[in-house]
Structure 1
């Protein structure tokens, strides 16, 4: 049985750390020919992702760019042109803003919403648009968008973040119609992922992790590697009859109201 990503050309945005890195390295491990690693500002971490990709046998190409910039999205696509096609595009770049929930309306500004939407929603759209021509040159083209269970439950790091992920899920439905029949696109909605993002919370990190384990039916705190496997499934031919879906991978947390 051939590897799922045998000879594939893969593009991963936001690939310097966390889930993006796990997807990039996972694709290389599953046979990818080349992995394009996009990052916005973390050059050193992107280089580490590239090192791991090469260690798993794939060519690694690092591309700096902020998906909020259409010109940068075009540059990401241009970096893949020498390969003649893109087989799988993982739109993983995203951002949030400071915590603000339903009882904290005054803590979010219009600019907060715009900043988050510019990356999470507009940035994803721009990346897809820039890469469409190269995707259409593949006979197995797939796009996987990193959303969040927050876009389904409304319970995330901030209202702006949750709303942006809900918009992203809806946009995937629209794009699935527009990109068919040549390109599949699906949304992956993880729950808690134990990444370095939580380091800034200091001692609260362990409390959050323990709370997630306690409240989650599967009693786990997911790692980037746990979720990358699901993303890679959606991006390969094993899911070749799946498009326009939002697949929740939260270990069941939403069932508890978490």
Structure 2
């Protein structure tokens, strides 16, 4: 898919990996809707950066875990630009809970992580699908994680939710073919605000990776765009982790 003049929605697009994805899509000529739930200032900053670089962007608010909010958001984007061609399901949350502390994994934690990380991606995909089907062309990229493959991560529910994202990707790829391609990128450790307060752990990890460096948000953003542009790719979960799980 040529991204020039395509309308792209990036959930959680104002911070971290999402902000890098929003800006990379704009550099490649896409019109970018930068979604945020609470981080309006971050989303507006990314919109201004894109506009300053000659691109087109708007900030759109919605909690992806709320189906009605998602549908209103997508309708607003379509009203602004006529359609939605690309969806990057980046929004996600976690809770930091030691893997062995099963008692700390409450119903609230399960529901919060599943509502955003899994159901939120489904709601967004469902909301954009009619526009993509009408155009007979569209692409979705979900952000998974190596936690969904290894079973280890910031918490047990997080790892399980990302495993569900990998499965959701394959199911959506079948359900939405042939008009819409659906793929997933599963990053390893990425240098973002997630490491705040854990910098020592981050610095210890990097030299032990085969490539001896952690991925950057820009690495992920570039690969997201490459996946979107590849017309022969669907239903795939692609790991990007500097060899961490090799």
TM-score (norm 1): 0.91
Aligned to 2:221: 228
Write the distance in 1 (CA, Å) between the matches of 2:136 and 2:175. Answer: 17
Report Cα offsets for 1:86-141 as digits up to 9, x if no partner.
Answer: 1211010100012230x211121122111100000001000111111112233541
Matching residue of 2:27: 29
Question: 1:208, 1:165 → 2: CA distance?
Answer: 22
Confirm whether residue 251 of structure 1 aligns to residue 242 of structure 2: yes
**What are the within-5 Å matches in structure 2 for residues 159-238 of structure 1?**
159-199=156-196, 201=197, 204-205=198-199, 207-236=200-229
Is 1:154 paired with 2:151?
Answer: yes
- Distance in 1, Cα, partners of 2:39 & 2:108: 24
Q: Would you say how many aligned residue pairs link Structure 1 and Structure 2?
A: 245
Show the counterpart of 2:43. 46
Rounded to whole Å, the distance in 1 between the matches of 2:190 and 2:136 is: 32
Query: RMSD between aligned alpha carbons?
Result: 1.3
* Mapped pair 1:108 → 2:105: yes
Equivalence map 1:128-139=2 (5 Å): 128-139=125-136
Moved over 4 A (4+): none
Q: More displaced, 210-219 or 161-170?
A: 210-219
5+ long unaligned stretches in structure 1: none
Q: Supply the distance in 2 between the matched residues of 1:55 and 1:190 (Cα, whole angstroms).
A: 29
Partners of 1:196 and 1:97 in 2: CA distance: 14
Return the TM-score normalized by structure 2: 0.96
* Cα distance in 1 between the residues matched to 2:135 and 2:239: 27
| 1:4 to partner: Cα distance | 4.0
